Every structure is written in C-alpha cells, then in structure tokens.
Chain A
Amino acid sequence: MKIVVAVKQVPERDAAVRVAADGRSVDESDVAWTMNEPDAYALEEALQLKERDGDGEVIVLCAGPERVTSTLREALAKGADRAIHVVTTDEGEGSLAARDTLGVAKLLAEAIKTESPDLVLTGLQSDDLGAGQTGVVVAELLGVPHATLVLQVERVDAGIKVKRELEDGWFQHIEMPLPALLTIQSGGNKLRYATLMGIKKAKSKETRELAAVAAGSRVDEVVKVALPERVKRTEMLTGSTDEIAAKIVEKLKFEVKIL
C-alpha cells in the first residue's frame, strides 16, 4: 500500500509564544520547532501498516519554508521511505500564514495528486492553530472518503476498516474503499524513536521539492491575536516550598473544607 503522511511543523509545546508586532500573528523569531504530535501518531500508524503488510511505501509530506526540512528528516529517520517538501516562503504573500485552511489544504492536495496514493494519513489537529480541519478538507479536494479520530486501521477486502473514537468512551468501526484519507487520534499506537541507523539511512533518502501554488485570497481573516484575559482571579501562592504547602493546607481546611 502506498501511503502519504501529511505532517506539520509547529512550535514546541513549551515554547514561550509572543504576539508579533502586527498584532495578528505569532512572533516566530525565537521559536523552536517540532513535528506536530498528532501527525507523529499518523506517521507511526503508516509505518506500522507497512510493516504489517510486509511491503508498501510511506511518503512523508510537509508544506512550509526551509525550516520544515528538519521535520521531514525526522520522519525519514523514523522509517518513512521518501519525502516531499512543498516549499513556501517564510513570510509574506507566499507563506503558510497567508493561507487559510482551504489554501493550505490545496497545497497538500496538489502534492498528493502527484503520487496517487492508496491512503493518506494525517493528525486530527495541529498543536498550534488547532482548527482540526486540514485532513477532512484535503479528502474533499481529492474526492476520496474519509474518517476522523481514527485509532486503528486494518485492511479488508473492500478497502479498509477503521476504529473511530466517538465521545464518552464509545467507539465505532467504519469501512470504506480505497483510496481514502484518515485523521489519526493520539493513543492508538505508541510512538517510536529514530534509531542511530535510521538517522544515518535518512541521509540517503530522497526529498522531492515542489513549488507551492500561489496563495488565493483568504475566506477568513485573523484580525487580532492577543493573550487571553483571565476569567478568574487566580491567587498565586509564593514563598518557600514549605510555606506554599502550608498555605495550600490552610485553604483546604478553611476555604475548600475538605480536610
């Protein structure tokens, strides 16, 4: 089975994020970048599917500026066979930020069409913008069926059967023909680390560069980005560790009344 995994590069979780001078975007100057965690689960699922089948190909796809090559290398080191980099500019009209979800999905869909894969996998959402839509929009642009929040994938005669997470601890199996697109939920598999051998091998693997199609106009517009207002007045406790512990115990006794 030929599988394309679309991944995104996002700021590291612990990164201190600042609003950019324009008041409408994130200041990326000091940001350390990493692979979006839900996409790492999608990559893992693809690698496991290939290993179970005993044959097939896993192609990792990422759109963004030069910096995203580190994320592609990480995926190659974990076991992806080759990579596609849709090259955008760092900022300005050609950048990812200039595109809305539909614009970014078009970049990915155009690249996926050049491969005609059996299956496209991606994470259920990104840790930065968190729209949770790119996968579904790509499926619609490719004209293939999809399922979201997928925990397990298995081959069946008619295509694939997936286990999908519903709310409140419920699950559901869904069957669909191939080609198809799935957005992967975290926790369905265990992430692997890149081995030294994997890192070495990655150096000889192919990365194909594709020029990004021009960005169309956005349907939506980000008019302002700001730090959230605190909805509650939080009483911040300070002092030595023992003083803080004693203050909490006081509150548990006299305010929360559980001691």
Chain B
Amino acid sequence: MSKVLVVMEQKGDAGWHRISLEALAAGQKLAAELGVTCSAVILGESAATAPLAAELATKKLDTAWSVGHAQLAHYTADGWVAVLQQLIAEQQPQYVVFPHTYQVRDYAPALATRLGQVLISDVTAIHAGPVFVRQWMQGKLNAEYAHKGEGVCLVSVQAGSFRADEVEAGSCEVKTFTPQIEVSQIRTKPSEPFREAAQTVDLSAAQVIVSVGRGIGEQENLGLVEELAAALGAELAASRPICDAGWLPMERQVGSSGQTVAPKLYLAVGISGAIQHLVGMKGAKTVIAINKDADAPIFEIADIGVVGDLFEVVPALTKAIKGAV
C-alpha cells in the first residue's frame, strides 16, 4: 500500500499544471526518504484524465489513479473535496502532497478540515523527519512544521521549490477509481474562464526589467524608475501592490498572480521580495536589488545588493548609465 499520494492538476485543456510535476518530484523524494511507495492521482472528466494517467504510468510510482466523473468536468471545491475524501478513505495514505496552485488553495483547506487535519501550505523545502519548511512574515522568517498524531498529513508545495526535471521515470499500473458524487452536492456554479483585454505587454521575452515595489511610496515618484528603465532600454514591471493601487496596469505585474519572467537583468527597486513576487522572477540571470531594509528577503536571492535610499540611488544610477552609453 502506498503511503504518499500526490494530487496532480491539469492546466487548461491539455497537459499538466507545471507545479504538479514539481509536487510529484517532492512526493517521490518524500516517499524515498520514508522508505514507502508513492502514488499519484488525476481528477477530471474521464476523457481528459485517461491520457494524463497514461503519462503518470511512465513515472516511478506504485499506482497512477485515474478518477473520472461527469461532475468533475469543471473544477468546483465541493466536487474535488468530496472525491478526494473518498479516495483518501479507501487508500489511507499517510501523506498527501499538492501543488500550491490557486485551485489547491481553494479546496485543500476544506478537505483538510473534513479530515480533522490542517494543510501545511506553501512548503518550500522538506527536511528529514519529515519537517516541512514554510515562510512567515513575507519571507523574513522560515518556520519548520511537523505533523502530529496518526492522521493523514496534507502538504502543498510552493512553485519552484522542487524540480520537475527530477521526477523519476519508471512504470506503474493505471487504476480507475469511481467516486460517488451527486449534482446536488455541488453548491457553486462556475462559468467558463475568460481573459479581459488582450495582453499587450509580454514581459516574459524582456531581456532587461526594472521592477518597482511599495518602497516607491507614491504614484508621482514612479517617474524615477521610468527614467531608469528608459536609460537601460528596459521594460518596466512591478510587484502586486503597485498594480493593486492602479499606479501601473495589472499586465506589468510580476509574480504568482502576474507574469513569470527570466531576463538577463532584473533590477528590483523598493521590492521587499515576498514569495509571491519571487516565484515570478527567480529565473532572472542577474538580480540587482535596491532596498532600504537590509533584512528584506529580496537580498536572499539578489546577486548584487544595495541597502540604501532608492530616492538617492536611483537618480544617481540613471545619471551614471546615461553617462556610460
């Protein structure tokens, strides 16, 4: 019997949500350390889950569970909670590993509550024990959590914390699980996902990005970073609070709710570096951070750091760059 169960997630019409492969790698590692087996499950409409389960059959797993049902054609928290509760009751895993996606954030806490448990969410590392590391205070502290008692332990892993290319290949059997679920159990009515205006800014291709955060203080101060971006020929980007305030359009947001970027240079101005922002930019080749707070988490991933007043450093830097080109 398999002791670790990884709940995979489909993205759109085809393929995996990228973080679910990272969760699969985390689940395989955890199982290896505990000396137990790992299984994975994909939920959805039968036609959609079958090919994905077939792909799981090529991984080093005990079982690839294919859970198909007409009521799972569209995601609902009620549907996912009910079905996973049944599978967990039947299979009795010790650990259930989720990718920390928006969808998981929507249903996994409710599933944990039904099981009398608490999800250990947004885990960035798993140490021997097992001990699960997650961030406190917007990344200023790391807290290590252990699960107590006999019940199942639920964990979700943060994007970029485990490597999808470390998923171990192998072969396993695909098994189908037929859940009992009635239309009356689903209380919410979701409609088709949509996009607002077509995105006109593609930051993912930018080679140089100047990004601005809360430290800029006021909208009228944005000119400072706009001049720096212009001097560098860079795209201007921002962390979420700047876009929430309407100072820059949402499409210039970098982070888990915005764009993911991988430029040659990411120059972070007045950005503290909450994990939701870091997951969107840690693929940058070089990160330069300017921040007044020496303890800001952005300095944990920066290659070059300046602890100082951006209102002095940025204009001086703009001037120096203009003089150099």
Contact = CB atoms under 8 A, between A and B. Distances in A.
Contacts of A223: 131, 144-146
A185 B258 CA distance: 13
A174 B192 CA distance: 9
Given A26-B136, A186-B241, A256 B188 contact: no
Given A190-B246, A232-B302, A241 B308 contact: yes
B190 A228 contact: no
B199 interface: yes
B293 interface: yes
Interface in B293-325: 293, 295, 297, 299-308, 312-313, 316-317, 319-321, 323-325
Nearest to A253: B324
Interface stretch (A111-119, A133-141, A200-208): A133-141
B303 A235 contact: yes
Contacts, number: 255
A67 interface: no
A14 B292 CA distance: 10
A259 B324 contact: yes
Contacts of A139: 110
A226 B299 contact: no
A219 B272 contact: no
Interface string A16-49: 1101000000100000000000000000000000
Interface stretch (B37-45, B119-127, B176-184): B119-127
B153 to A, nearest CB: 8
Contacts of A210: none
Given A234-B299, A237-B305, A222 B114 contact: no
A133 B122 CA distance: 11
Contact of A226 (B141, B293, B321): B141
A175 B302 contact: no
A221 B130 CA distance: 12
Contacts of A253: 324
A222 B140 contact: no
B306 A244 contact: yes
Nearest to A15: B137
A135 to B, nearest CB: 8
Contacts of B301: 231-232
A14 B191 CA distance: 40
Most buried by A among B118, B312, B316: B118
A225 B144 contact: yes
Kindly list the 6 A-B residue pairs having the minimum CB-CB distance in the complex, ordered from nearest: A187-B244, A133-B109, A145-B187, A136-B109, A245-B320, A245-B316
Given A145-B78, A227-B141, 4 more contacts: A136-B77, A140-B110, A141-B113, A228-B140
